[in-house]
Amino acid sequence: MQLDPLIGGSSPQVSYWVLVVLVFTTLAHLIRGDDKGQGLGASFIFGDSLVDAGNNNYLSTLSKANMPPNGIDFAASGGNPTGRYTNGRTIGDLVGEELGASDYAIPFLSPNATGSAILNGVNFASGGGGIMNATGRIFVGRLGMDIQVDYFNITRQRMDALLGKSKARDYVMKRSIFSITIGSNDFLNNYLLPVVSIGERISETPDGFVNHLISNLRIQLTRLYNLDARKFVIGNVGPIGCIPYQKTINQLSEGECVKLPNDLAVQYNGRLKDLLAELNDNLPGSKFCLANVYDLVLEVITNYAKYGFRTASIACCGNGGQYQGIIPCGPTSTLCNDRSKHVFWDPYHPSEAANLIIAKQLIDGDTKSISPMNLRQLKDY
């Protein structure tokens, strides 16, 4: 008798029904509501290169990280580049791990982002993307926040098809966290571009530009709410005047940061705090948490030795200038000997060691780091 290739000795009909049972058992495990506190259902990640897990690999863009030595410490890929703009895991990866996600959120543009894989979470983030559609156009291809929300709408429809509308809605509302890390590019690769005619500075004051950002983000977050998102964590903009790129092009000393970018970040962050308070008041059942990335990163930069780092100014992987801050990380870059001793992996992005410190504060920290609750509390909210 010819054996079934899947189950020795069983008929094809029996094999088919065994597979059906296995699939539905897996889906039931993912969506059951009695495992509160035992693991995150889905992590939906939106944002820029700080949390991109590989979407830009599938775009025609100048912003890519799918070449070595990026990913050299990413164990899941055997040290091969995946499109993450760091040497290892992003903050989004680390948060998902600690909160019990079954797997890393899969890039939306990946061919594997189908079927039950999307129930672990989907990553929509894109290097170069911003709140404004014009942000990052110097890179050509990138996914702005508007497009990322469009893509979540597609994912949302796929979840309905997988689970049925009622169970899918519960899964998104009760078992999923929506992480948004965006805004830095709107300053670095839009408003602050040195070629004034490309950026928004030619037509808008800082107040006007920040107002525009907040207005757009309000619409984007409300769209996600209308697609059943309820648990949000939104990172504010970090001290972008302190990154190796800014320090290099402005020829600053090690202890200095560029004032204008940091001032703009602080101005935006104040408005973002007000926006999230407004949304918490006006969108029933929602919980918008503010991740105070600015202060967390500035603390690590200012007191880097306390955290075991040797430098908070020099990029581990890069080329050009005092801080290796001109040319992005790639195969021809100079690579430091000990990645764990550098706050910055490349001219723009933190190392995995720095990401670990920040992620721990967001997961279990007090309200100075994340408010009104931390991510472990938000998961079980």
**Which pLDDT value is given to residue 199?**
53
Structural domain contains residue 20: no
**Which pLDDT value is given to residue 189?**
95
Residues marked as catalytic? 49, 346, 349
Structural domain contains residue 16: no
Q: Do residues 373 and 363 touch, judged by C-beta distance below 8 A? A: no
**Which pLDDT value is given to residue 203?**
75
- Asked whether the whole model's pTM tops 0.85, one would answer yes
Q: Which residues constitute the domain of residue 211?
A: 37-240+250-292+368-379
Structural domain contains residue 221: yes
**Which pLDDT value is given to residue 316?**
98
Number of separate domains in the chain: 1
Structural domain contains residue 119: yes
What is the total residue count of the chain?
Answer: 381
Structural domain contains residue 341: no
Structural domain contains residue 360: no
Structural domain contains residue 99: yes
Distances (CA, A) of 84 to 4, 53, 57, 98, 239: 41, 5, 10, 19, 21
Distances (CA, A) of 327 to 61, 90, 191, 277, 317: 16, 21, 21, 39, 9
Structural domain contains residue 86: yes
| Torsion sign, CA atoms 342, 309, 237, 192 | negative
Question: Which phi and psi angles does 114 have, rounded to 5°?
Answer: -140, 165
Residues contacting 293, CB < 8 A, separation 6+: 181, 235, 236, 237, 238, 358
- CATH number of the domain encompassing residue 123: 3.40.50
Mean pLDDT of successive 10-residue stretches along the chain, which has 381 residues: 35 41 42 53 97 98 97 97 98 96 96 96 98 96 98 98 97 97 97 68 86 98 98 98 97 95 98 98 98 98 98 96 94 96 98 98 98 97 93
